[in-house]
Structure 1
Amino acid sequence: AFMLGKDAQIVLENAIEFELIGDTFVWLCSDGCAQPSTYTDTDGEIIPRIRDASRGLIGLTPTGGTGELFEQFLDDWEERDSTEYPGAGDRTINLFAPHAYDSVWGFALAFDQLIKEERSITSDNIVEVVRKLDFTGITGRIKFDENGDRLATYDLVNLQDANTAFTKTGSWDAENVEQSETAGFIFNEEIQFFDGTTDIPDLDVRDPVDIWDCEKKKEFTDPTGKAFRVRDPDGDNPRYIAAHYRCDEFIDCGNLSDESFSCSPSFAATYLSFGILTGMFLLVIPFFAIAVISFGVIWKKRRIRLLSPIFMLGMCVAAFLGYVSTFAWYGKPHTVSCNFQPWLLGISVNLMIAFLFAKTFRIWRIFKSPFKRQKITDFQLMLLVVIIMVPCIIILTAWTAFATPTATLKDTDGDEHFVCETGGLTGPPGGLIFFFILVGYTGIILLFGAFLAFMTKSVPSEYSESKLVGYSVYNLLFLGAIVIPVFFVLRNGNPLAAWVIRTIAILYGFSATLWLQIVPPLVLLLVKDKCAAIPVHKDSLTSASTAVA
């Protein structure tokens, strides 16, 4: 903004107070304050405090007189009587005097032209003629652009060393802006800055930044605030992130160093604990499978044969996939793992329920008409399992195609974190829609299975598993009705707690369902039957198998 020297003094006083003067500041001033009056009092005496603050000040002042006409003007001014013309008698003049002289001269030329052309002297006509003027005055060439601004020249001045006056270090010519590589500037001398050198100061001053080094796993401070490229925790596995991302319960470093064992709570410690627990559950499944094959296929124990070994093995596969699905949520989100999450968990849950439903359906079908011989083979029930799984696969396929789970940055409480979010054609709403469609379909199959289990509760005890079915249904309904809402409430505010609840629910749901179907019959076989070689009746094997949840 335009200001005179006395105004500049006030500004500089405030700048000193607010610590805006120093090596990392460069002050630019218009012609009104690029004058000694900026740091002198009314008597022309230098004000040390203001003069010191003005070191390195850069200004642009209109170029004064120049050329032969100007020299003639000075000769004439020097010869004038100072009594009749105050200030005359020497060759020093006010900065604005030559411009005032040319202004009057320009208006005189405009009036002269209008009179010669016999045109009325109106403001519009005067402006029109003045804008078309092109003549040489004592301040140089006078010409105007399409906006009515003079194509002027300015002196670039700089307050250097202990000088009491500004030093001309260059100039700027409006007519050379387009042609010049320096945008119209011509530099005759180097500019001196506040520190007394001609080294261009670094004006990009930033506050110190606390940084976490993901690779070296340590925190440090960048005093310049710009020596290190601090990045949002994106998919490129950044080396440096802001320190406040550490221990915030979001995994931002690819190696988990920002959520290491030193954090409380710690994702690393949680992963280790649940990884060991899940591994133990996974190790149990082969033992279950060996027991089912040994007692149900090789030695053909009646108690195991009645439970359909092939379906018990199928539930082992479903539980195995369910346990494995938890690992898709380990570590920093990645688009691949984001897509595995619904597929692994969705397939495993529905496969477990499909096997439970098929077994219960066979018992219901057999004892629906007790006086009519029924024969339902394992192949037919496997076909029923496939039919139940088809809609699940269609839903998951549509989910992946139209609402593709994608690892992306998402703002959470003012910070961006890399999370699994819905992408694809639908965006965020699509993921929830497909999720609840899948949950709804699974719930329908589960409730229908519970209904069949209730209807078969009075069948002969060696075929009836209504209690076990009831327990299994309860566990899976608990998984869906309680855990899902709690997870959605916690996932943004407390992601670690949400992760723990989801993982516990998956491990509990599959373990309780699988163990309830396999452990009781094995215990009865070993304790009650004492592994006796009780023969398998042909009618039992051809007409019935089991009811399961």
Structure 2
Amino acid sequence: FIFFRGKPPPQSVCNTTRPDGRPSSILIGGLFPESGTLANGGIPRASAFRIAIEDINDDNCLLPGTTLVGILNDTETSPVEGLRSFLYLADEGITGVIGAASSSVSRAVAVACPLFETPQISYSSTLSELSQKSTYPFFSRVVPSDAFQGQLLAIIANDLGWDRVATISTSNAYGVSIIEQFTNRASALSIAFLSSQTFPPDENEDSPLLEDAVRLTKSSGARIIVVAMVLGDAQNFLRVARRQGLTEYATFLVTDGVAQDALFEADDADELREAASGMIGTTPIEASGELYDAFVADWVTRDPSEYPGAGNDDINTFVPFTYDATYALAWALDRLVRKGIDVYNGTALLDSVQNGTNFVGLTGNVTFDENGDRSAIYTILNFYDSDDDATFVAVGDAEQGEIDYSGEPIIFRDGSTDPPDAAERVFVAYDDAQGIAMVALCCAGIVITILCTIRMMVGKNTPIIVYASPNFILLINLGIVIGFCNVFVWTGEPTDSLCLARPWLLVLNFVLIFGNLYAKAGRIYHLLHQRKSFVFKPIKDTTLFGYVCLYSLVFIIPLIVWTAAYPLEVDRSDDNPDNDKVNIKCSGDNAEVFLGLFLGLVGLSLIFGVFISYLNRNFHDFFSEIQYVGYTLYTVTITCCVVLPMLFILEDEPDAFYIVLMLGLIFANFATLLFLFTPKLYILVLHPSQNAPPTDEGGRLQTQRSALSVHQ
């Protein structure tokens, strides 16, 4: 094995030929970013290049009798330095060159390669522009073109139900090209763009340009951010995004330049892991199989002082691609040698590379298409910061637009496997001001109702409670408590269970109160209109309960049908006026039909309530029960007439809809509590002496209809 960094001794590059016509040595070059923004990945790739040359020289089947000599130069992740490094290698007489890493450096080199007829094989440059053979005829790569990677990111976004995104990339060829491909495919999939930002590569984390790009991305309201840049830029982006609070909720959909474990090779690795949690990325298909396992076994035993980046099993994504790129060039040279063709014939070597390559490497079968590109096979990766050993894991594979999500489940930032929404989900949370206020009022209502019920049950044998019927009091108060409990199914992010509970609580609240009120009002109307007098005595409740049950069934039966046949489910509605937000609602098939049915039943009930209250308006029964029933019916009817139209108007304004609905429920239930039970508690607690039915001078019970007394 012979390997040189920089300029080799003159005698070592002498192209001597053996008697059998085989060259004794062949010189190839390697371009690696050992400094600059890609240094974290470039250093171990350079070691892979060296190990590949060692293995080739030890292989008696590949270039037998010929020593492969490598010269490695640092591109500094710069197109200018990369081109300078290549020109130096070309001047030394290399037959071919492995590299470069970044697309912008490879593009600069690819422009110069035809001048020297030097085939170039990149191990990680994915810029789609490099597939243009008329411009870059000597360029090949063992990784797929970004022409598919950008499209793949759009397909993943669509598969996960994300219909709006923001993009941020570096303004170099790599970032701009991928975002362009993503934009074209995403637009065809009806994905909207809330923001598209770029910043120059190699900006540090304090750069105003980077700060502004992140700030504008955040202000767009997007929850899904497509990121196209290389490692160093990605690290600085995550630092700024974390500082500005973007990483608290955003999900990053990233390219192969970001989706690498080397992303976390920094002093602030813990903070970077936290910022990247839930990240989904793409990378050329991961290396696997017996050959790769053997390579890993060798890699972990290497001395990192001699082979920087080696010595552990944390292998950079493009290390095996570097190894395969070196082998691809070696096999191409071997074919020329065996045919007796001069290995310095650049055109012949190019043909051997692009048309003759077909071998099984660490990354699978290596071949090139007519553009010098590797087949577009990608692994889809997911990163979730669950522990100190968190790493990118494979969740699926993609080939030519077909995705197989058969790997590990995707875990998102919140630790769940449910994809987050692409826009801010609008609903009233428990920690919102309106949520806090309404929950507090309803909880107070529940407590007050329970205390009132307890006090009235303590006096259940007294005349005022007996006349009102303890059973009816319990049922009405149960309805009131259920009414206040509505706040718990209307506050917080809706779920399918909460959606199912909403109509049930509203219906039970209504029928338990109104069914019993109608029974009481109807009973009094019947007694006062059909009889001249009556003796005060406890009223049997069974008949009235039967009527209440029949009344309830009118609501309950269609509600059961609705729940069973067309259950309400959580739905996202795009009718929010802000493009970066979606309303989270409950909806279902035929929901409008059932809603119309219930509104009709409620309307008829309210009309009946108002009618019977009007008929009873001049009657004064014991303890003025009928008047308080009438006040309750009038108040609730007026409340419904005001609130229901407002709810239809405010349907697309979640906060206002919630406030109006809750205030309507709170007011109606408190009014029922006030009119029906406050007078009873007033007598029970403050004036127990009045807790007796009115009697005439002879001690007989009496009631009045206006000024007319009816006696028995």
TM-score by length of 1: 0.53
Offset of residue 370 of structure 1: 1.6
CA distance in 1, matches of 2:669, 2:252: 54
8 Å contact 2:223–2:251 — kept in the other structure?
A: no
**Separation in structure 1 between the aligned mates of residue 662 and residue 494 of structure 2, nearest angstrom:** 16
Match of 1:431 in 2: 591
* 2:554 counterpart of 1:354: no
Aligned equivalent of 1:478: 638
Any stretches of 5+ residues in structure 2 without a counterpart?
A: 1-36, 38-78, 85-106, 122-136, 144-172, 180-195, 198-213, 225-241, 259-278, 282-410, 703-712
Alignment CA distance shift 1:372-1:410 (3 Å): same
- The offset of 1:420, in angstroms, is 2.6
Match 1:515 to one of 657, 674, 683: 674
Which one-letter code corresponds to 1:315 in the other structure? I
Task: Identify the residue that residue 541 of structure 2 maps to in structure 1.
Answer: 378
In the alignment, structure 1 residue 452 sits paired with structure 2 residue 615? no
CA contact (8 A) 1:235 1:334 kept: no
Alignment check: 8 A CA contact 2:573 2:582 kept: yes
- Structure 1 residues 473 and 339: alpha-carbon distance in aligned structure 2, compared to 1, 3 A threshold: same
Letter aligned with residue 638 of structure 2:
F
Name which of 647, 650, 654 aligns with 1:490: 650
- 1:277 and 2:227 aligned: no
**2:245 corresponding residue in structure 1:** 219
Cα distance in 1 between the residues matched to 2:592 and 2:617: 37
Conserved? CA contact 1:314–1:355, under 8 Å: yes
2:400 aligns with none
Q: Find 1:308's aligned residue among 469, 472, 487.
A: 469
Residue of structure 1 equivalent to 2:530 = 369
Q: Give the secondary structure class of the aligned counterpart of 2:178.
A: coil
- Paired with 2:561 and 2:506, the residues of 1 have a C-alpha distance of 16
Distance 1:405 1:294, change over 3 A: same
1:386 Cα shift?
0.5
Q: 3-state DSSP class of the match of 2:460?
A: helix
Check 1:232–1:352 CA distance in 2 against 1; reply closer, same or farther (3 A cut). farther
CA distance in 1, matches of 2:140, 2:614: 95
2:494–2:584 CA contact under 8 A, matched in 1? yes
- Structural mapping, 1:22-101, within 5 Å: none
Displacement, 1:452?
Answer: 2.1
Write the letter of the residue equivalent to 2:501.
Answer: F
Q: Is residue 2:503 matched to residue 1:503?
A: no
CA distance in 2, matches of 1:378, 1:531: 25
> Structure 1: which amino acid aligns with 2:459?
F
Q: Is residue 643–residue 661 contact of structure 2 (8 Å, CA) maintained in 1?
A: yes
Which of residues 204, 211, 224 in structure 1 aligns to 2:178? 204
**Contact 2:620–2:627 (CA<8 Å) still a contact in 1?**
no
Kindly provide the amino acid, as one letter, of the partner of residue 498 in structure 1: F
Q: Deviations over 1:327-377 (max 9, x none)?
A: 101111111101100011111112110010000111111122224869962
Q: Which moved more, 1:342-351 or 1:474-483?
A: 474-483
Superposed displacement of residue 282, structure 1: 0.6
* Structure 1 vs Structure 2 CA RMSD: 4.6
Aligned-pair identity in percent equals 21
- Mapping of residues 121-132 of structure 1, within 5 Å: none
1:275 Cα offset (Å):
1.5
Work out the CA distance in 2 between the residues paired with 1:389 and 1:348.
Answer: 11
Distance in 2 (alpha carbons) for counterparts of 1:212 and 1:399: 35
Structure 2 distance, partners of 1:369, 1:159, is 106
Query: What residue is the counterpart of 1:408 in the other structure?
Result: 571
**Partner SS state of residue 571, structure 2:** strand
The CA deviation at 1:404 is 1.9
Q: Distance in 2 between matches of 1:311 and 1:397?
A: 25
- Distance in 2 between the 1:410 and 1:212 partners? 16
Question: Which residue is equivalent to 2:390?
Answer: none
- Residue 390 in 1 paired to residue 553 in 2? yes
Give the drift of 1:233: 12
CA distance in 2, matches of 1:237, 1:224: 15
Q: Residue 394 and residue 165 in structure 1: after superposition, are their counterparts in 2 closer, same or farther (change >3 A)? A: same
Structure in which a larger fraction of residues adopt strand: 2
| Superposed CA offset, 1:504-535 (max 9, x none) | 11111011012210111321344444366779
Match of 1:480, as an amino acid? C
Equivalent position of 2:458 in the other structure: 294
Equivalent residue for 2:500? Answer: 339
Contact kept? 1:490, 1:498, Cα under 8 Å: yes
Q: Distance in 1 between matches of 2:505 and 2:555?
A: 12
Q: 1:466 to 1:372 in 2, by over 3 A?
A: closer
- What SS is found at the alignment partner of 2:468? coil
Answer yes or no: is the 8 Å Cα contact 1:328–1:341 preserved in 2: yes
Secondary structure of 1:165's aligned partner: helix
Letter of the 2:585 counterpart: C
Highest CA radius of gyration, 1 or 2? 1
Counterpart position of 1:417:
582
* Mapped partners of 1:291, 1:164: distance in 2: 97
Find 2:432's aligned residue among 242, 262, 268. 268
Mapping of residues 517-532 of structure 1, within 5 Å? 517-530=676-689
C-alpha distance in structure 1 between counterparts of 2:506 and 2:487, whole Å: 8
Q: What is the letter of the counterpart of residue 640 of structure 2?
A: G
Contact 1:350–1:442 (8 Å) recurs in 2: no
The AA in structure 1 aligned to 2:601 is Y
1:328 aligns with 2:354: no
* Deviation (angstroms), 1:234: 12
Q: Is the 8 A contact 2:110 2:120 kept in 1?
A: no
Asked if structure 1 preserves the Cα contact closer than 8 Å seen for 2:113 and 2:138, the reply is no
Contact 1:285 1:316 in 2 (8 A): yes
Q: CA deviation at 1:473?
A: 1.8
Q: Is the 8 A contact 2:494 2:586 kept in 1?
A: no
Moved more, 344-353 or 398-407: 398-407
Q: Which amino acid aligns with 1:204?
A: I
What SS does structure 2 have at the residue aligned with 1:317? helix
Q: With structure 2 as the length reference, what TM-score do the two structures score?
A: 0.42
1-structure distance, mates of 2:522, 2:555: 19
Give 1:232 shift. 12
Give the whole-Å Cα distance in 2 for the aligned partners of 1:305 and 1:454: 25
Query: 1:533/1:505 Cα in 2 relative to 1: closer, same or farther (>3 Å)?
Result: closer
